[in-house]
Amino acid sequence: SSMGELRIHSVLVSGANRGIGLGFIQHFLGMPTPPKWVFAGCRDPKGQRAQELQNLASKHPNLVIVPLDVSNPASIKAAAATVEKQLGGSGLTLLINNAGILKINKFEDETLDDMKQIYTTNTTGPLLMGQAFLPLLKKAAQGIPGSGLSCSKAAIINISSSGGCISAPEVFDLIPAVSYRCSKAALNMLTKCQSLGYREHGILCVALHPGWVQTDMGSAAGHQPPVTVDTSVQGMLKVFSSLSEKDTGAFLDWEGKVVPW
């Protein structure tokens, strides 16, 4: 199925100022029928690290940069209020929880503070985002009658990682990253819980492994990842267009393959 079938009225991407998040923003803006609203959440919209977003916003009136720190509940609430105001009575079609952090620690160097910080951003962040944006997602779902679930109706996409896969722990010797792995295994469980809790509201919930991607995070361990941001995002958008109710609660990769838990 082609990307043309994705009809997304509005989308919010967290961690949108670089890497995969920025890739999503670029691809949404470049769609044949782009969303009416593209919300780019990032911690410091006016800062140096959001320069590329600022450039895009000056060219695309449908791009709105929203201050958003997913480790801060007050920031999440404020972002939801900003988005609601901008949407002016319509719902939010797609919430992409992409913001994440990674610390390349040796096993013996993991600390309480690192565990807390990483879990707060990678796992609790998407939980609180789901809660805050639920009214807008519900509104989007209500606008498209019928019982089927899809990304064109209302969906939460959690960007996870095969690093959180318990049955096949990827390249542990290369990158132990225990706190990160734990946070992503927990994010997968959160996705399953969201899929069960939000199904009655018509909201699809999926965890996606974007591949090992050439970003600052992907390269943090000093190895060159095989997948470009462009290839990963294009693949994930293709997956979006094919998702239906049979996929809610699933853990898939950027090529649409099921990833083991």
Domain membership of residue 218 as a residue range: 10-253
Query: Residue 120: inside a domain, yes or no?
Result: yes
Domain count within the chain: 1
Query: Residue 193: inside a domain, yes or no?
Result: yes
Question: What is the pLDDT, as a whole number, of residue 226?
Answer: 87
Query: What single string gives the DSSP state of each residue in the chain?
Result: --GGG---SEEEESSTTSHHHHHHHHHHHTSSS--SEEEEEES-TTSGGGHHHHHHHHH-TTEEEEE--TT-HHHHHHHHHHHHHHHTT----EEEE---------GGG--HHHHHHHHIIIIIHHHHHHHHHHHHHHHHHHTS-SS---TTT-EEEEE--GGG-SSS-TTTTT---HHHHHHHHHHHHHHHHHHHHHGGGT-EEEEEE--SBSSTTTTTTS---SB-HHHHHHHHHHHHHH--GGGTT-EEETTSPBPP-
Query: Residue 215: inside a domain, yes or no?
Result: yes
Share of the chain above pLDDT 90, in %: 85
Q: How far apart are CA 93 and CA 46, in angstroms?
A: 26
Query: Residue 259: inside a domain, yes or no?
Result: no
Query: Residue 258: inside a domain, yes or no?
Result: no
Residue 170 pLDDT more than 70?
A: no
Question: What is the pLDDT, as a whole number, of residue 63?
Answer: 98
Task: With cut-offs at 50, 70 and 90, classify the pLDDT of residue 4.
Answer: very low
110-162 per-position pLDDT tens digit: 999 999 999 999 999 999 999 999 999 999 999 998 889 999 999 999 999 99
Query: Residue 127: inside a domain, yes or no?
Result: yes
Query: Residue 260: inside a domain, yes or no?
Result: no
72-119 per-position pLDDT tens digit: 999 999 999 999 999 999 999 999 999 999 998 899 999 999 999 999
**Mean pLDDT (whole number) for 1-23:** 86
221: domain CATH number is 3.40.50.720
Query: Residue 2: inside a domain, yes or no?
Result: no
Q: For the chain, what is the mean pLDDT?
A: 94
Could you tell me the pTM of the whole model? Answer: 0.96
Residue 3 pLDDT more than 80?
A: no
